[in-house]
């Protein structure tokens, strides 16, 4: 059985700002939000769109995660990234939805499947859920997501744009 994926703060923030949170449901009907990630987002205040999304979206399930293995702690990542990776490490068929490069490198070391915000948009395009990926990626960049032109153009080429 495939386990629910766990999501870190940055994909949640970027997708919530853009009104694209539903792209997460392309992966699974429920998405795990580790307590550390929810705490980080809730510090943004109750008027923050991401904090509101966590509070009001039934399929975003705030979950206590297992202890972070020492091997993951050694990477010196933030609590959110570490808790997402701890969830995926404890549930080998679960994906980690994470954008942070150091966390993605850590995940690769432990063979943890990873997908980022960019990957979600590309999947949405491939599945026909959105007509074009470029406008969505531009919207995400305007909302604060860092994505170089080079990386974006390479990714768009993968989906025929």
How do residues 140-159 score in pLDDT, each as one tens digit?
999 899 999 999 999 999 99
Q: What's the half-sphere exposure (Cβ side, CA atoms, 13 Å) at 77?
A: 28
pTM for the structure as a whole:
0.91
Q: Sign of the CA dihedral 20, 8, 115, 93?
A: negative
- Do 80 and 125 have their domain in common? no
Distance, in Å, from the CA atom of 137 to the CA atom of 155, rounded to the nearest integer, reads 10
| Bridge partners for 6 per DSSP | 32, 96
- Do 101 and 123 have their domain in common? no
Grade residue 27 by pLDDT with cuts at 50, 70 and 90: confident
The CATH number covering residue 12 comes to 3.40.50.1010
- Do 36 and 71 have their domain in common? yes
- Do 30 and 73 have their domain in common? yes
How do residues 119-129 score in pLDDT, each as one tens digit?
999 999 999 99
- Do 97 and 140 have their domain in common? no
- Do 126 and 95 have their domain in common? no
Question: Is 91 part of any domain?
Answer: yes
How do residues 45-85 score in pLDDT, each as one tens digit?
889 999 999 999 999 999 998 899 999 999 999 999 999 99
What is the per-residue pLDDT for 40? 95
Q: Mean pLDDT, the chain, as a whole number?
A: 93
Q: Which residue has the tokens 């293995």?
A: 69
Spatial CA neighbour of 87 closest among 104, 63, 106, 105: 63
DSSP string, the chain: -PPPPEE-HHHHHHHHHTT-GGGGGGT-SSEEEEHHHHHHHHTT-TTSHHHHHHHH-TTEEEEPPPPPPHHHHTT---HHHHHHHHHHHHSTTPPEE---HHHHHHHHHTT--EE-HHHHHHHHHHTTSSS-SHHHHHHHHHTT----HHHHHHHHHHTT-
Domain final residue, candidates 116, 131, 148:
116
- Do 124 and 110 have their domain in common? no
- Do 96 and 63 have their domain in common? yes
User: Mean per-residue pLDDT for 135-141?
Assistant: 94
- Do 80 and 127 have their domain in common? no
**Which structural domain, as residue segments, surrounds residue 38?**
6-116
How do residues 103-120 score in pLDDT, each as one tens digit?
999 999 999 999 999 999
User: Mean per-residue pLDDT for 3-13?
Assistant: 94
Q: Could you give the number of structural domains in the chain?
A: 2
CB 58 within 8 A of CB 97: no
- Do 88 and 72 have their domain in common? yes
Question: Is 1 part of any domain?
Answer: no
């Amino acid at each position: 059985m495939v386990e629910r994926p766990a999501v870190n703060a940055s994909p949640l923030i970027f997708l919530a700002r853009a009104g694209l949170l539903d792209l997460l449901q392309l992966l699974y009907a429920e998405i795990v939000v580790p307590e550390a990630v929810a705490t980080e987002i809730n510090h943004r205040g109750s008027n923050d769109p991401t904090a509101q999304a966590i509070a009001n979206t039934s399929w975003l399930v705030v979950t206590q995660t297992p202890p972070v293995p020492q091997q993951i702690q050694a990477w010196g990542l933030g609590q959110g990234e570490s808790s997402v990776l701890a969830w995926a490490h404890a549930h080998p068929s679960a994906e980690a939805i994470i954008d942070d490069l150091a966390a993605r490198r850590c995940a690769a070391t432990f063979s943890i499947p990873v997908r980022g915000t960019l990957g979600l948009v590309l999947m949405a395009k491939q599945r026909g859920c959105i007509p074009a990926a470029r406008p969505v990626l531009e919207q995400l960049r305007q909302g604060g997501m860092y994505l170089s032109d080079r990386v974006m153009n390479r990714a768009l080429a993968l989906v025929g744009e």
